[in-house]
């Protein structure tokens, strides 16, 4: 089956590879989940809105982390978009659209995202500038849904949805400024 020379080399190589896999898996699995809160972006529009974000760092093992977001105090039966951003407030800088969720009749909603979260960044190939995405911001997915805050037709139209027609922000990690909740 095995020639003597090949077998002699194969066993030590397999042992080395197994050791490397065990070491890297043990290291990555030691990364503990971490949790942080998002706060309302306005003191007048849904000031009691909040969200808890839990990040399960598993990128070293699975190739992606998991982000769980649980929100409450939002308008009922309304869709929202979730972005990783460079900055927590306007102008937000570089941004990445990662999810959408819809609240229930009690104004609660949640979403689970498998993506690179801890090491997320945006890179502009023209300027060759890398921007770390260390904040989480939530927008009204439809521009008309924020009329409850601004009056009929008064809310801003922002590009923060798949169709490019989102409303205003409602939650963000601005409570961490001047720092950020993500590494």
Taking the domains of the chain in order of start, what are their residue ranges? 1-30, 34-176
Q: What is the pLDDT of residue 5?
A: 54
Cβ distance 66 to 56 under 8 Å?
yes
Q: What is the pLDDT along the chain (183 residues), one digit of tens a residue?
A: 444 555 444 444 444 444 444 434 433 445 899 999 999 999 888 999 999 999 999 988 999 999 999 999 999 999 999 999 999 999 999 999 999 999 999 999 999 999 999 999 999 889 999 999 999 999 999 988 988 888 766 678 888 888 888 889 999 999 999 999 998
CA distance 169 to 137: 7
Cβ distance 171 to 39 under 8 Å?
yes
Q: What is the pLDDT of residue 159?
A: 86
Cβ distance 69 to 111 under 8 Å?
yes
Alpha helices in 30-116 (DSSP H): 59-62
SS3 of residue 183 by DSSP: coil
**CATH for 34-176, options being 2.60.120, 2.10.260, 2.60.40, 2.40.128:** 2.60.40
Q: What is the pLDDT of residue 157?
A: 84
CA distance 172 to 153: 23
Q: What is the pLDDT of residue 158?
A: 85
Model-wide pTM > 0.85 = no
């Amino acid at each position: 089956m095995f020639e003597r020379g090949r077998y002699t080399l194969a066993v030590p190589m397999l042992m080395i590879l197994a050791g490397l896999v065990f070491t890297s898996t043990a290291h990555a699995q030691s990364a503990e989940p971490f949790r942080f809160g998002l706060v309302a972006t306005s003191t007048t529009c849904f000031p009691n809105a909040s969200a808890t974000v839990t990040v399960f760092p598993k990128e070293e093992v699975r190739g992606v982390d998991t982000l769980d977001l649980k929100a409450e105090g939002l308008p009922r039966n309304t869709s929202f978009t979730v972005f990783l951003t460079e900055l927590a407030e306007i102008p937000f800088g570089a941004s990445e659209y990662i999810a959408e969720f819809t609240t229930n009749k009690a104004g609660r909603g949640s979403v689970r995202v498998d993506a690179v979260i801890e090491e997320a960044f945006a890179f502009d190939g023209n300027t060759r500038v890398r921007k770390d995405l260390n904040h989480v911001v939530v927008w009204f997915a439809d521009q008309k849904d924020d009329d409850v805050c601004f009056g009929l037709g008064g809310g801003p139209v922002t590009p923060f949805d798949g169709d490019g027609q989102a409303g205003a922000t409602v939650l963000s990690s601005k409570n961490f400024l001047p720092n950020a909740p993500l590494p």
